[in-house]
């Protein structure tokens, strides 16, 4: 009988915590970490699942694993049929079970999973037009409506219950109206851009809600940086130029939020926005796309600046059928990221 008890004891220990190399999975399916530092160094692959099958996404994950990525960010948008999703599904949306299977596949590859939810901006992918009455403009919901958060938190809770993430990416990029082009593309005639104080209200509300559940928060950083502050950088990716955005807004954002500083077409070798935000107390992740010079230069500069890792996004390359370029980017960026952001045990 004592032998039986001992066997049951060790089985229980195994179930309570399965410790794989660099990633702890608890008995309830959560990725278990004791502090945010365990997310780093972050070498992440960002995948937009829109119009892709789970099988196709698994192929990308296989390549990412071979290239030594340790994190996969899946952009969910309106592409998963969550019961509480506050909008209209894409006609190719996955079932929740399909998404859970892919998330399990990621974790079996010893990689962490982070969902990206399109919050506040790009609301054609979430609340618009189903909840037009709660919109500030057609691309941005209005944080003054408490009903917005009733809908969002119910949806977020379902994501947390289903996927068990330790970190959620909350979007917040490209506020409609930051440029004349964005006004024409994302706003109806006569609509106004969301004021910075309402952007801040939304960030703090969501940050506090997720923090209360022990979830770390990532967000895009383009609305926090401006042309005037960083004149040597490609202006295309610096969107915080409207009154109240940029550094003024950055100074009010909780320092515990992980900022994803994205620059896709820069040709210079320095990325002072990353260095500046690190000096202000933020954890910062450099983010790139398909331009190899940018991938290389940004990884070198961000590592020297003590950033916390890098993300490469494939965005719509797989959807466009550009599979070979996508795989080349994964391989190239994986090698660069592993060189400048190696696992701590290998340093």
Q: Are 271 and 256 in contact (CB under 8 A)?
A: no
Neighbours of 268 (CB within 10 A): 15
Q: Are 200 and 192 in contact (CB under 8 A)?
A: no
184: burial class by Cβ within 10 Å (0-12, 13-18, 19+)?
Answer: exposed
Span 161-179, pLDDT tens digits:
999 999 999 999 999 999 9
Q: What is the DSSP letter of 216?
A: E
Q: What is the DSSP letter of 192?
A: -
Q: What is the DSSP letter of 87?
A: S
Span 191-236, pLDDT tens digits:
999 999 999 999 999 999 999 999 999 999 999 999 999 999 999 9
Span 224-254, pLDDT tens digits:
999 999 999 999 999 999 999 999 999 999 9
Name the CATH superfamily, with its identifier, for domain 33-346. Answer: Glycosidases (3.20.20.80)
Q: Are 69 and 331 in contact (CB under 8 A)?
A: no
Q: What is the DSSP letter of 189?
A: T
Distance between alpha carbon 292 and the CA centroid of its chain, in Å? 21
Where are the domain boundaries for CATH 3.20.20.80 in the chain? 33-346
24 pLDDT more than 80: no
Selected residue with higher pLDDT from 18 and 146? 146
Task: Say what the pTM is.
Answer: 0.92
Q: Please tell me whether residue 304 adopts helix, strand or coil conformation.
A: helix
Span 117-174, pLDDT tens digits:
999 999 999 999 999 999 999 999 999 999 999 999 999 999 999 999 999 999 999 9
CA distance 311 to 289: 8
Please compute the mean of the pLDDT values over residues 79-88 and round it to a whole number: 98
* Secondary structure in 3-state letters for 163-187: HCCCEEEEECCCCCCCCHHHHHHHC
| Closest residue by Cα to residue 315 from 302, 329, 296 | 329
Over its C-alpha atoms, the chain yields an Rg (Å, rounded) of 20
Q: What is the DSSP letter of 94?
A: B
């Amino acid at each position: 009988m004592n032998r039986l008890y001992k066997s049951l004891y060790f089985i229980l220990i195994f179930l309570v915590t399965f410790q794989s190399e660099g990633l702890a999975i608890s008995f309830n399916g959560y990725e278990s970490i004791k502090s945010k530092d365990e997310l780093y160094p972050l070498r992440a692959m960002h995948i937009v699942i829109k119009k892709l099958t789970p099988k196709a996404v698994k192929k990308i994950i296989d390549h990412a694993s071979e290239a030594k990525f340790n994190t996969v960010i899946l952009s969910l948008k309106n592409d998963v049929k969550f019961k509480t999703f506050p909008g209209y599904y894409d006609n190719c949306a996955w079932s929740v079970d399909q998404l859970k299977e892919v998330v399990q596949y990621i974790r079996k590859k010893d990689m962490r999973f982070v969902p990206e939810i399109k919050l506040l901006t790009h609301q054609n992918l979430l609340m618009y037009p189903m909840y037009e009455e709660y919109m500030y403009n057609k691309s941005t919901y209005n944080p003054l409506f408490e009903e917005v958060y009733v809908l969002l938190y119910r949806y977020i809770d379902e994501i947390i219950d289903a996927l068990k993430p330790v970190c959620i990416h909350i979007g917040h990029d490209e506020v409609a109206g930051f440029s004349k082009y964005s006004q024409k593309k994302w706003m109806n005639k006569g609509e106004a851009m969301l004021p910075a104080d309402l952007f801040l209200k939304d960030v703090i509300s969501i940050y506090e809600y997720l923090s209360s559940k022990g979830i770390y928060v990532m967000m895009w950083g383009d609305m926090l940086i401006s042309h005037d502050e960083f004149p040597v950088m490609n202006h295309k990716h610096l969107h915080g130029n409207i009154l109240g955005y940029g550094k003024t807004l950055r100074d009010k954002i909780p320092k515990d939020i992980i900022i994803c500083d994205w620059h896709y077409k820069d040709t210079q070798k320095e990325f002072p926005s990353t260095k500046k935000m690190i000096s202000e107390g933020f954890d910062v992740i450099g983010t790139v796309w398909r331009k190899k010079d940018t991938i290389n230069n940004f990884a070198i500069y961000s590592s020297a600046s003590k950033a916390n890792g890098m993300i490469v996004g494939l965005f719509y390359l797989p959807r466009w059928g550009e599979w070979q370029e996508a795989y080349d980017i994964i391989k190239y960026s994986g090698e660069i990221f592993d060189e400048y952001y190696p696992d701590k045990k290998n340093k």
